[in-house]
Amino acid sequence: MNKPQSASDAKTPEQPTETTNFTKARAKLSFDRMIEHGAKMGMPNPLFHCADRAAKATIHIDGKDYINFSTYDYLDINGHPEITEAVTATAKVYGTSAGASRLVGGERVPHRELEQALCDFLGTEDCIAYVSGHATNVTTLGFLFGPRDLILHDNLAHNSLAQGARLSGATRFSYQHNSCEDLERLLKTKRAEHKNCVIVTEGLFSMDGNIPDIPRLIELKKQYNCMLMVDEAHSLGVLGEHGRGVAEYFNVDPSDVDLWMSTLSKTLCGCGGYIAGRRDVVQFLKYGAPGFVFSVGMPPVIAAACTTALKILRREPERVKRVQHISRYFLEYAQSKGLNTGEAQGYAIVPIITGESFFTGFLSARLFQRGIYVMPISFPAVKEGEGRLRFFLSAAQTEENVRKTIDAVIEEMPEAQKMVDRYRAEHPEG
């Protein structure tokens, strides 16, 4: 009989002698480099700050209020008493989970109420709500299109749109940002080679805060027999007199866009996403899109929250006017101070282009020390050299906070540059 091996006799597993592939890849991440170098300069990590209550015009972190420009709650609806009441009542009936894929037992009344409310608001035939906004784009493009098809997307389209295009296996090309001329060039040379074609754009671009020429895109999609998909993650509730997005902004027929997409986590302060459009397309997605068929249904409480938020939006269009006003005020004040706001048009998202990633991170950290919470955006979210502070404007925000913030940016930019110069002098190898 073999003698049991004692702990001291046990062979110690060999320790890896090389850096793992994941560690090597992680070392290339711009955010990681920014955090590492910032720590050497005594600057705190600007990411993953943990707030202890809902974020409004201010955000509360570690016992202190900061002026907040990092919330998607554009219309200041999150936390509304009507939503809290609706969620509480829904949880008492349905619990907190759908319990299954909607296709096989997870269908609940709040799901259907939300989808119908969105159809009524957007003017479409049908709608499908997914549990994840990112997955909405990935699974919709990945399922509807295949190797014989063509996907043409704006080269600044969101990661989820690019990932969905890759997943589909379709031939894909990106056209120059907001350039209908470049898009038409691709249509002329590539469209005839493929069975189906879809043009993909955002309604309000999440990094630049500008709007595509939707009427021209509709003309092109009709001329070249394409579909058109518009991601309204940031334009729903923000554009148009009543917040109906780019269709209202441009006064176009909603049926001229085949796939209206938006997340439910921003204006409607829930979680998930939707596709709205023709009934036959939506039904096809409901029976086949993997991100819907093989995923648990959206929690009924979230569906109820989004439906209630939509009711508040429709009842109180003045919220749309407030976010539009404060956005224009921010843009105009920043420009009056000589700051580079890129192509922003003054709707909810205004970047201040700062250039180098390290400089952007140091500037964000210095603003945080002054009680201002705004996130740095650097590669790979944007091109190297196009780092920025991205300001989200909410209906809750004030002109006083805007002025205080812009003035602080002006004052702290030279200090952030000194930090970059000092770091490079002390770490020439970095």
Q: What is the pLDDT of residue 421?
A: 86
Phi, psi of 277 (to 5 degrees): 170, -145
Question: Taking residues 356-373, what's their average pLDDT?
Answer: 92
Measured distance CA(236)–CA(218) in Å, rounded: 19
Whether 157 contacts 174, CB under 8 Å: yes
N- to C-terminal Cα separation, the chain: 60
Ranking 37-41, 89-93, 118-122, 335-339 by mean pLDDT, the lowest is 37-41
Q: Find all residues with CB under 8 Å of 319, minimum gap 6, and list them.
A: 75, 76, 77, 237, 243, 312, 313, 395
- Which CATH number is correct for 31-74+318-426, 1.20.1250.20, 3.90.1150.10, 1.10.760.10, 3.40.50.460? 3.90.1150.10
Q: Please, where in the chain does CATH 3.90.1150.10 lie?
A: 31-74+318-426
Confidence check: pLDDT of 347 > 60 = yes
What 8-state DSSP symbol labels residue 359? Answer: H
Measured distance CA(236)–CA(295) in Å, rounded: 25
For residue 59, what is the enclosing H or E element? strand 58-61
Q: Please, where in the chain does CATH 3.40.640.10 lie?
A: 81-315
- Can you tell me whether residue 338 is helix, strand or coil? coil
pTM of the entire predicted model: 0.90
Q: Give me the residues paired with residue 199 across strands.
A: 152, 228
Architecture of the domain defined by 81-315: 3-Layer(aba) Sandwich (3.40)
Confidence check: pLDDT of 28 > 90 = no
Confidence check: pLDDT of 58 > 80 = yes
Measured distance CA(259)–CA(284) in Å, rounded: 13
Q: How confident is the model at residue 356 (pLDDT cuts 50, 70, 90)?
A: confident
* Closest listed residue to residue 373, CA positions, set 399, 331, 408: 408
Question: Taking residues 263-281, what's their average pLDDT?
Answer: 97
Record the tokens describing residue 384, joined without a space.
Answer: 């190297």
Question: Taking residues 125-150, what's their average pLDDT?
Answer: 98
Confidence check: pLDDT of 26 > 90 = no
Q: Which long-range contacts (CB under 8 A, 24 or more apart) does 51-58 make?
A: 54/78, 54/79, 56/394, 56/396, 57/394, 57/396, 57/397, 57/398, 57/401
**245-270 per-position pLDDT tens digit:** 999 999 999 999 999 999 999 999 99
- Is cis: bond before 16, omega within 30 of 0? no
Q: What is the pLDDT of residue 79?
A: 95
